[in-house]
Amino acid sequence: MAGDEAPEALLATQISDMEVTLFLKGSWQAELLHTGIFQFIPFVYGGNPLLFTQIPDVYILLAIADSLWFEAQIGADVSKNIFSAGYYKEENAKLLSIKIGNSGINMKNQAFSGLGNPSSSFGIKTDIINTQNLSHAEAMLRWDTVSYETYTFYGYEEETKIVISPAQWLRGKAFALEPDTNILSLYTVKQTQTTVFFPDAYEYNAQTGILVLKEPITLELYATVSHNGNVSTIQLYIPNNDNQYELKNVYSIPGDVS
């Protein structure tokens, strides 16, 4: 009928008392390729093995009874595929949400913890929200990779091996000041020499107090700050010491420190 809108999903059906909705979007391209040379006189044949390739680009969303759901995005790069499943229910002014997968398993950025980044790690997340006073409780269990290994081969011989671990840059990089603190000057001290940081050498969010240097330091670090109208100098970092303002979980702090 003219004027009718397209359905919201490719499949929407009713099973008993449970509403099931399935939404599919994308494409899946598959190819079988064989190349070679074939000649009768004189007889010549040379060929390569059959090559099968596939390029998926599919998004899937399955919802059951408005409480259970499954979501997946499948592409050619396996490392970037995402999936998640969950359950949510609202009862007695409380909303319960449980989510498992490798997408969006994170917490709201807090001033000191910065939990839940990067967002592509596998885990499970639970939220309980009071819809009347909007109080919110969160719990999260995640698997975060703490080291990355890269191998480069030339033929069958290993040329290089690179291992990168967050432990290499955890110290002297991130700090948590009091929220609503303004940094007037940031500088390092080596004996009698003082080196001032330019603003493009660090990222700072005055609202949360999170300071992240572009590069870790190995020298003493100080900051002249203004807080509640008072100006003072604080010691942020002393090498090989426990520092009051230092954050050591740098890998979990978002790049924009928002």
In a domain, 186, yes or no: yes
User: Residue 226 — φ and ψ, nearest 5°?
Assistant: -125, 125
In contact, 193 and 200? CB cutoff 8 Å: no
Q: For residue 168, give the 3-state DSSP assignment.
A: helix
Query: Does 86 reside within a domain?
Result: no
pTM, rounded to two decimals: 0.47
Tens place of pLDDT for every residue, the chain, 258 residues? 445 554 544 444 444 446 788 888 887 777 777 666 665 666 666 666 667 777 888 888 888 887 899 999 888 777 778 899 999 888 888 889 999 998 878 776 554 444 545 556 788 999 999 988 888 888 888 876 655 566 666 666 655 655 555 555 567 888 989 999 999 999 999 888 899 999 899 999 998 898 989 888 889 999 999 999 899 999 999 988 888 898 876 555 554 554
Is 95 part of any domain? no
Q: Length of the chain in residues, anyone?
A: 258
Compute the chain's Rg from CA coordinates: 27
154 forms bridges with which residues in the sheet?
157
Would 29 be classed as within a structural domain? yes
Last residue of a domain, one of 80, 105, 133: 80
What is the CB-side half-sphere exposure of residue 214 using CA atoms within 13 A? 6
Note whether residue 120 is domain-resident. no
Sign of the alpha-carbon dihedral angle for 103, 109, 114, 115? negative
**d(C-alpha 67, C-alpha 48), whole Å:** 51
Question: Of the candidates 60, 80, 100, which is a domain's last residue?
Answer: 80
Q: How many domains, in total, are found in the chain?
A: 2
| Cα–Cα distance, 186 to 198 (Å, whole number) | 8
Q: Does 58 fall in a domain?
A: yes
* CA–CA dist 67, 145 (Å, integer): 31
Asked if the structure places residue 98 within a domain, the reply is: no
Return the structure tokens found at 7.
Answer: 């359905």
Q: What does the alpha-carbon distance between residue 1 and residue 3 come to, in Å, rounded to a whole number?
A: 6
Residue 108 DSSP one-character state:
P
* 138 within 8 A of 115, measured Cβ to Cβ: no
Query: In this structure, are residues 127 and 137 in contact, taking their beta carbons and an 8 Å threshold?
Result: yes
- Asked whether residue 128 is domain-assigned, the answer is no
**Final residue of a domain: which of 17, 51, 80?**
80
Range of the domain at 217: 167-252
* CATH code for the domain in which residue 206 is found: 2.60.40
